[in-house]
Structure 1
């Protein structure tokens, strides 16, 4: 925290620093006995009428009364990764989108409106990678009409925690009553260490998801739209570990190869066979396939509360790149 030559804490940020990453300290309860301090680090997304709005790396929007500030300063961006592949948010967001294609999309300036009959929020949300070409309120009205015409709720997918992400848009959506429903992280890592894992279980690769694969997949009642999303992408592979008794596979996974990037998704294991390395073996087989197609880096998505998956992927050399969030339109009564 910023300290003057006289040893006093100082507020060294102003309204001119909106859009920059800052660190601030404030009194939790100004004037109360035993005053306590609270520190907040994130992007200063607005400073208006005596209130600072800071959007943290995890997407949480924090509102701070100017009168409660004790100290504050502009801080540099988070340090660059020291291992594994490097990627800008813009590059990775485009790759992630191509790996989970909607069945219908339309451009609104730099925004992509995506729909797939309601199968997953990723395929049924706006991806805002630029200016929509309209004032924000008008753009959001257009978004609601587009999804309403398809009988779907309107979602906007935003990202935080990396250079070029959308902390300001998160704050604007929350100000308008949009509700953040889901937060997950995109992790990246080198592909070769995953492929080098020892082979064990017999992993079968296929270009299509057969009935057995779908029976292990956590989402049930899949129709043609869902199958189109699962099968979409530049180069898609499905992995299965056949069960000893036949029928539903012991483990499954999905791979999409897109240039230097490979994505892992739908890595699922029979609950009775977990902690036996099957998920790692599925990923290793898919990684070897991706290396054969020229990929060198990998990404995957981890829900914020899935500690088990996070531990597995960390052991395989992955680390978080950025967080993403889905904001749902306000209800008509809100």
Structure 2
């Protein structure tokens, strides 16, 4: 995740990995706990909270599977549970043919102005585009049309054999016309051509349409996490 959606900077503080996302969203900004469960304490949490406040960023923790003690400690301190996320993935070889690539899709990087406009309308602004620009490995943006109309965009990057699709956005008037499936199909094509083993996506649990699309392609849940946010 971090390699395909990277923060501006990462620092270590005791058992914490602290990220400066520079406004690039929760994935690039949340702190993660890297220590043993027994290291969770009010003091270590205080250290992380103070460091995030001093840096001027959000006070935000990503809670991973197996970190129930951390989750309970943050809940006790009234840190709100935010955006439960599931990670779905499947072998690229098993996905080929499930969602054919669009005949009108283009692989373009850097992104064109119209692509940036579509992202902007979907709440993916300059800060998240800067995240894409920071990706050091193989990457591309995907642009598709419905008829003659610019319809949707996505960003895909690869790290250690896993291609990850981020920032899939389709203009509201053109949704339910196959653009999202076509962009996903084009991402599968790109992953196959680069020799990726798997394609993965991270999607919030409440995003029912997107989860349904990925499920229809037989992408299974391989991980999950959520955030705890404070002030």
Please indicate, yes or no, whether the TM-score normalized by the shorter chain is above 0.5. Answer: yes
Q: CA deviation at 1:239?
A: 0.3
Q: CA deviation at 1:195?
A: 3.3
Structure 1 match to 2:88: 187
Structure 2 match to 1:299: 200
Structure 2 match to 1:143: 48
Within the candidate set 135, 138, 142, 1:235 is matched to 138
Within the candidate set 50, 56, 64, 1:159 is matched to 64
Structure 1 match to 2:123: 219
Higher relative contact order (CA 8 A, sep 6+): 2
Superposition pairs for residues 1-334 of structure 1, below 5 Å? 96-131=1-36, 136-160=41-65, 165-196=66-97, 197-217=99-119, 218-219=122-123, 222-223=125-126, 225-233=127-135, 234-242=137-145, 245=148, 249-329=150-230, 331=231
Q: Distance in 2 between matches of 1:227 and 1:274?
A: 22
Deviations 1:220-273 (A, max 9, x none): 5x33x4332122332221000146556xx3111110111221111112222222
Tell me, yes or no, if the aligned pair for 1:111 and 1:132 is still in contact at 8 Å.
Answer: no
Q: Identify unmatched segments of 5+ residues in structure 1.
A: 1-95
Q: Distance in 1 between matches of 2:102 and 2:141?
A: 18
Deviations 1:16-37 (A, max 9, x none): xxxxxxxxxxxxxxxxxxxxxx
Deviations 1:270-296 (A, max 9, x none): 222222222111111121111222211
Structure (1 or 2) with the greater helix fraction = 2
Tell me, yes or no, if the aligned pair for 1:109 and 1:132 is still in contact at 8 Å.
Answer: no
Tell me, yes or no, if the aligned pair for 1:236 and 1:257 is still in contact at 8 Å.
Answer: yes
Q: TM-score, normalised by structure 2?
A: 0.88
Larger Rg: 1
Deviations 1:170-197 (A, max 9, x none): 1121123222122111112122343323
Q: TM-score, normalised by structure 1?
A: 0.62
Q: Distance in 2 between matches of 1:272 and 1:110?
A: 46
- Number of aligned residue pairs: give it: 227
Q: CA deviation at 1:108?
A: 2.0
Tell me, yes or no, if the aligned pair for 1:201 and 1:278 is still in contact at 8 Å.
Answer: no
Q: Distance in 2 between matches of 1:132 and 1:99?
A: 27
Q: CA deviation at 1:132?
A: 9.7
